[in-house]
Structure 1
Amino acid sequence: MAKELFITQWFSNEMLLAGAALIKRLDEADAQVAAAFWLLDAEEKTWALTIVSSLIESEGPRKYYKRINDVNDSANPNEEIISLHDIQVVNTNNRIIRAIQHSNLGKALLENNRLGRNIIGDVSIEDMYLYRMDWTLLTPENTAVA
């Protein structure tokens, strides 16, 4: 079994790499990841990896967490994985996604970017690492509930 990554209040290279590996495994499992980012909770000073998918709307979060658990189980034994406790799954109507979509950032290239101490729309972001936003998967015709 892979090693579980210990998440601290400081964003680490290990967190970045473990998140990227999880997203890659989810892509290989056709999990339709529309966006993925680490987000620091300003009050709790804890990080959570947020996975955004329209499948969460159609299948429900419990089934999507099972997907994540299954791809974590398929990780190499020497690979660090992110505990389900440190992952949150949200549908494409997430407030951060909506704020970015409606901001002047538009469809700018936002991949692999750190966005700290920002206010986007009406959302305050203490710290965030954005892996990607797949604008195709975030369009209304692709986010309808199945």
Structure 2
Amino acid sequence: KWIKERPNVVVAHTFSKIYAMAGLRLGYAIAHPDTAQRLREFLSSDNATGLALAAGLASLSDQDLIPRSRAANEKAKKITLECLDELGLAHLPSHTNFLMHRINGDLDTYRRRMWERGIHVGRPFPPLLGYNRLSLGLPEEMEWFTEVLREFRTKGWV
């Protein structure tokens, strides 16, 4: 409805989150035909691989994927937030599949210690230098993360 009535509206979606394909860097946009035509001049002919396109098409044909992904994401978030609250670690509100939580220490040291336990911690997010951007994984992965976080607390590392 909005696309037909308002040529200045573009709806953009990514496959990164709900389809769990962040590494493939695939997304799409829906726009009024006139707007879409103007946007074509900014397209790159080599920005999506054949693998990314095949995965995107396959995911669109799986009607149960979105509700399953949402349910798994909500469960993973619940597991993680309960642990953060239990440990008294501040966190920012989130409506996404990642959380920003306080680490109460040096991010580089935290990153190294997590790496030693098989958990990859990404780059800093200034100005939130005392926070970790935590991408939510599967519920069982977040159980492991919270186990490690509790261990860190007993050692005084967070």
- Structure with the bigger RCO (C-alpha within 8 Å, sep 6+) is 1
TM-score over 0.5 for the pair = no
More strand per residue: 1
Q: TM-score, normalised by structure 1?
A: 0.28
Structure with higher Rg: it is 2
TM-score of the superposed pair, with normalisation by structure 2: 0.26
